[in-house]
A and B are shown apart, each in its own frame.
Chain A
Amino acid sequence: MTPQATPVMTPDMIPGRDGVTTSVTIALNRFGLGARPEEKAPADPKAWLRRQIDAYDKQPPTIAALPNTFKIIADFGPRPGEARTAEDAVTKQKLEAAIRRGARAIYAAAAEARVMQAVLTDTPFAERLVHFWTNHFAISADKVLVTPFAGSFEAEAIRPHVMGKFEDMLLAVEHHPAMIFFLDQTRSVGPGSLAAERRAVRKGKRDIGLNENLAREILELHTLGVRSGYTQSDVTEFARALTGWSINGYAADTTAADSPAGSFIFRAEVHEPGTRRILGRSYSQSGEMQARAVLHDLAVAPATATHLATKLARHFAGDEPAQTLIDRLAEAFNKSGGDLPTVYRALIEAPECWNARPAKFKTPHDWLVSVLRGTGRRTFQKLQTAPKLIQLGQPMWTPGSPAGWDDVAARWAAPDALIRRVEAAHRLAVLFPNKLDPRELAPQVLAREPSTGTRAQIEGADTRVTALTLLLVSPEFQRR
């Protein structure tokens, strides 16, 4: 603890109704990913957070070591489409099983690297923002076509743009195969497109057409937000504008030889011709530029600013953030044309984020990361984070829906989830090095003195493992 840190006593601090939270505690836990023992506490917490915006590494070595999307596809062997054309059922089953196994292996390695990066990073606030944006633009790895690309999606569409413009991140996300596959965009065909017309002539019927999924989720989840005034007709028109957005090599007839399999391609033959009218504006652009123009307008729309500001405020300041904070963040977004660092600086300055009362209950992922940081270790043998996170109830990159994981305590402070956390803590406790007594370790891991109640439980524990388990499931470690 440093002299600059402002100690705040709160009578209603839980448990034991006592405890001391400082601005260092808040910077390390609420903005960051947890304290590492024996690491020097930041002298000026706000400056420490601001510095991370500049010090952020878009491509840290842990992540850079992973294969990118093109390499994943090139090395993968069997193509997802291949199983469909297999001659007999046995071959087909074998191929499908091999595809799933291969995809899971790539996914598990990326999940492991993601957690290690969170443990090792010296810019934990920036890393939190990577996680925030990945969850905002959620894909779900339980879809087989998405599984192998969940990690490369974060590395290629999110990480490069976390300290840039929102519009650039939006464009990178909607062009990435993980998102295009997740929301069925490769299969959406303009009913009046060349391809549909040709097929109708050939087969005598019209059996291919639009899929609204991507268009709807961009409006509802990625940009404007639900109930912001768009209509069904806006969704359908946007879906028409998006026809043609596809991935090279996905199907045999879509291969363009001059770019690698897995890269974005625009397929003019499935694009719905004509001018589109969306949210009162006309888009007469041709080809890929039509949907790009829509995305540009969405990226800078005031409703988008409010939507993103609300989610950021909820993520850092509490489940029910103050309207004043939301308004200030939205204003920072609007005035800067969606410059994300400007919004982050407003967040760091906001007094609403520095309330001494715990603001958030850690998600299983963030809890696991803070446990691992708390061990002070930089290497682990067979961490196996993917199965650990499944057991904790938050499998990596698998929220199951494009809305991402819920960001409120009611979702995570639940009976079964809490038992799982205790059981996991019991097993993770052995990772803590033996040289420190749990009583000495507690204030270093918590970045504050433990409450009287927690201290008593740690001191009264019958074994070192029990004491550490209790520290890791204590109210002050689970909240931030």
Chain B
Amino acid sequence: MIETPLHRRWFLTLAGAAATVALAPRIAFAAQAATERRFVFIIQRGAADGLEIAPPLGDADYVRRRPALALDPASALKLDTTFSLHPALVQLGEMYKRSEATFIHAVALPYRDRSHFDGQNVMESGGSAPYRVRDGWMNRLAGMLPKTRTPPTAFAQTVPMALRGANRVTSYAPSKLPDANADLLGRVALLYQYDPELQPVWAAAMEARGLAGSDAPDNNPAGVGRLAATFLKKSDGPRIAMIETNGWDTHNQQTRRVTQLLGGLDALLASLRDNLGAAWTQTTVLVATEFGRTAAANGTGGTDHGTASLAMLVGGAVKGGRVIADWPGLAPAALYEGRDLKPTTDLDALIAGAAAETFGLDPARAAATLFPDGLAGRPLDGLIRG
């Protein structure tokens, strides 16, 4: 295309717009004291089997229920007299020994119907039933905190339900396509300037890209942990982040698949710890899944959809080194509907307590904001260092 005065004018507008974008947010946010605390939610999509991740090897009914799937006690780290830790979680075991990890067992959402997609909606929205609440509890948590220059970030290609809502959020995943040049990116910003939906999405994308720098990590668990840590440790970086892990729906070949998945989770947690450096002491990582799996193995070397499972709090800010469980046992009469681990701790109460204590929020107010349909009990306390 021929260069015309019109073209020239657009170019100047573009240069001006770019400068404004770079300067304005810094001024706007410099005055606010952001919290030093970080809260990361690692979601295990697909219903992770808490009974295999932290098996109750001290409960004789466990081996009775799943003779073929039960772990060899010799290979597992003993957490206490009842529970052990899956041997694939080597680094997490080290964190537990250093009081940086707490396991919460027989935990469940208020939801009982065993659909992944409904369960995940309840877990991410914070409602008491599927599709009752339209935005995510992490987005509402963000609303209770000082704004950071980079908003809460999902390390995923798109924004998961838990982060969706009225407060500004972003997502970031390393792209394998070649970089589009900066000039084009600026033009796209102008193209979207009057579009109420695409303008904020694009602004968030540009900001996340600036923050990540040029060394895009590979799409492996350690790489994702490194990427997230790069964002989280910056003084003006996000204080809330979410990382997605998939593939926990082990209807078959459970032993092999869970070992592989836990190896990935272990690498992700270790990479977060190692790359966060000093910020690790300020960090709470919540690991949770939508529901658990049947107490007994199914006919195909796996387990089917169940009810209660396991959640974890990991990080330097966590009062760790213990297992929190009101253990219902796995005797036939103790099972929920005769098949699943019975829930005795409310996952929402755990989340409310952990989030409130991480950021020094009033637990009752945090619970009411994050879980607007109300909690079954009170938020758990004593989870996080003051």
Does A415 touch B at the CB level, under 8 Å? yes
Report which of B68, B172, B175, B298 forms a contact with A391, defined as CB distance below 8 A.
Answer: B175
Residues of B within 8 A of A416 (CB): 156-158, 171-173, 175, 205, 208
> 18 A–B contact pairs at CB < 8 A?
A15-B193, A16-B194, A187-B252, A191-B299, A212-B304, A216-B114, A220-B115, A226-B117, A227-B130, A401-B45, A415-B172, A416-B205, A419-B180, A419-B209, A426-B184, A427-B177, A457-B191, A474-B191
Q: Which residues of chain A have a CB within 8 Å of any CB of chain B?
A: 14-17, 184, 187-189, 191, 205, 207-213, 216, 220, 226-227, 232, 391, 393, 400-401, 403, 409-420, 422-424, 426-427, 438, 453-454, 456-457, 459-464, 466-467, 469-470, 473-475, 478
- Which residue of B is nearest A207, CB measured? B68
Q: How far is the CA of A454 from the CA of B192 in the complex (A)?
A: 9
Contact in complex: A475, B195 (CB < 8 Å): yes
Does B170 touch A at the CB level, under 8 Å? yes
Does B239 touch A at the CB level, under 8 Å? no
Residues of A within 8 A of B1 (CB): 438, 461-464, 467
Report which of B118, B164, B187, B192 forms a contact with A461, defined as CB distance below 8 A.
Answer: B187
Residues of A within 8 A of B116 (CB): 401, 403
Q: Which residues of chain B have a CB within 8 Å of any CB of chain A?
A: 1, 3, 6-7, 9-11, 45-46, 67-68, 113-118, 130, 156-159, 164, 170-173, 175-180, 183-185, 187-188, 190-198, 201-202, 204-205, 208-209, 246, 249, 251-252, 298-300, 302, 304-305, 337
Contact in complex: A415, B175 (CB < 8 Å): no
Report which of B158, B185, B196 forms a contact with A14, defined as CB distance below 8 A.
Answer: B196
Report which of B118, B130, B177, B246 forms a contact with A420, defined as CB distance below 8 A.
Answer: B177
Residues of A within 8 A of B190 (CB): 457
Q: How far is the CA of A470 from the CA of B183 in the complex (A)?
A: 12
The DSSP consensus for interface residues of chain B is: loop
Residues of A within 8 A of B177 (CB): 391, 420, 423-424, 427
Known A-B contacts A15-B193, A416-B158, A424-B177; A208 and B299 likewise in contact (beta carbons under 8 Å): yes
Known A-B contacts A211-B298, A415-B204, A454-B191; A423 and B175 likewise in contact (beta carbons under 8 Å): yes
Known A-B contacts A419-B175, A459-B6; A14 and B299 likewise in contact (beta carbons under 8 Å): no
Contact in complex: B191, A211 (CB < 8 Å): no
Contact in complex: B188, A210 (CB < 8 Å): no
Q: How far is the CA of A242 from the CA of B47 in the complex (A)?
A: 24
Contact in complex: B115, A469 (CB < 8 Å): no
Q: How far is the CA of A420 from the CA of B179 in the complex (A)?
A: 9
Report which of A16, A212, A400, A457 forms a contact with B187, defined as CB distance below 8 A.
Answer: A457
Contact in complex: A188, B184 (CB < 8 Å): no
Q: How far is the CA of A396 from the CA of B250 in the complex (A)?
A: 23
Q: How far is the CA of A466 from the CA of B190 in the complex (A)?
A: 13
Q: How far is the CA of A423 from the CA of B181 in the complex (A)?
A: 9
Known A-B contacts A189-B299, A227-B118; A417 and B158 likewise in contact (beta carbons under 8 Å): yes
Contact in complex: B7, A462 (CB < 8 Å): yes
* CB of B366 to closest CB in A, whole Å: 25
Q: How far is the CA of A16 from the CA of B195 in the complex (A)?
A: 8
* CB of B171 to closest CB in A, whole Å: 5
Contact in complex: B299, A415 (CB < 8 Å): no
Residues of A within 8 A of B249 (CB): 401
Q: How far is the CA of A400 from the CA of B204 in the complex (A)?
A: 26
Residues of A within 8 A of B194 (CB): 14-17, 453
Q: How far is the CA of A416 from the CA of B176 in the complex (A)?
A: 11
* CB of A413 to closest CB in B, whole Å: 6
Residues of B within 8 A of A391 (CB): 175-177
- Which residue of B is nearest A18, CB measured? B194
Sorted nearest first, the 3 A-B pairs with minimum C-beta distance are: A209-B299, A460-B10, A415-B205
Q: How far is the CA of A422 from the CA of B205 in the complex (A)?
A: 11
Report which of A213, A412, A438, A459 forms a contact with B304, defined as CB distance below 8 A.
Answer: A213
Residues of B within 8 A of A17 (CB): 194
* CB of A428 to closest CB in B, whole Å: 11
* CB of B346 to closest CB in A, whole Å: 21
Report which of B117, B158, B179 forms a contact with A423, defined as CB distance below 8 A.
Answer: B179
- Which residue of B is nearest A456, CB measured? B10
Residues of A within 8 A of B45 (CB): 401
Report which of B130, B198, B251, B305 forms a contact with A418, defined as CB distance below 8 A.
Answer: B198
- Which residue of B is nearest A212, CB measured? B304
Contact in complex: A417, B298 (CB < 8 Å): no
Q: How far is the CA of A409 from the CA of B196 in the complex (A)?
A: 13
Q: How far is the CA of A315 from the CA of B115 in the complex (A)?
A: 22
Contact in complex: A411, B7 (CB < 8 Å): no
Contact in complex: B252, A211 (CB < 8 Å): yes
Known A-B contacts A210-B298, A419-B209, A453-B193; A413 and B246 likewise in contact (beta carbons under 8 Å): no
Residues of A within 8 A of B9 (CB): 460
Residues of B within 8 A of A409 (CB): 197
Q: How far is the CA of A456 from the CA of B7 in the complex (A)?
A: 9
Residues of B within 8 A of A474 (CB): 191
* CB of B240 to closest CB in A, whole Å: 16
Residues of B within 8 A of A454 (CB): 191
Contact in complex: A473, B191 (CB < 8 Å): yes
Q: How far is the CA of A464 from the CA of B171 in the complex (A)?
A: 31
Residues of A within 8 A of B171 (CB): 414-417
Contact in complex: A453, B191 (CB < 8 Å): yes
Q: How far is the CA of A254 from the CA of B113 in the complex (A)?
A: 35
Residues of A within 8 A of B299 (CB): 187-189, 191, 207-211
Contact in complex: B195, A15 (CB < 8 Å): yes
* CB of B49 to closest CB in A, whole Å: 15
Residues of A within 8 A of B173 (CB): 416
Known A-B contacts A188-B300, A460-B7; A227 and B175 likewise in contact (beta carbons under 8 Å): no
* CB of A256 to closest CB in B, whole Å: 22
* CB of A172 to closest CB in B, whole Å: 23
Residues of A within 8 A of B204 (CB): 415
Contact in complex: B117, A403 (CB < 8 Å): yes
* CB of A229 to closest CB in B, whole Å: 11
* CB of A178 to closest CB in B, whole Å: 16
Contact in complex: B158, A393 (CB < 8 Å): yes
- Which residue of A is nearest B45, CB measured? A401
Residues of B within 8 A of A15 (CB): 191-195, 198
* CB of B232 to closest CB in A, whole Å: 17
Q: How far is the CA of A228 from the CA of B170 in the complex (A)?
A: 35
- Which residue of A is nearest B157, CB measured? A393
- Which residue of B is nearest A219, CB measured? B115
Q: How far is the CA of A309 from the CA of B85 in the complex (A)?
A: 47
* CB of A14 to closest CB in B, whole Å: 5
Which of A208, A226, A419 is most buried by chain B, counting CB atoms within 10 A of its CB?
A419
- Which residue of A is nearest B156, CB measured? A416
Residues of A within 8 A of B302 (CB): 184, 211
- Which residue of A is nearest B200, CB measured? A415
Q: How far is the CA of A393 from the CA of B219 in the complex (A)?
A: 13
Residues of B within 8 A of A420 (CB): 157, 175, 177
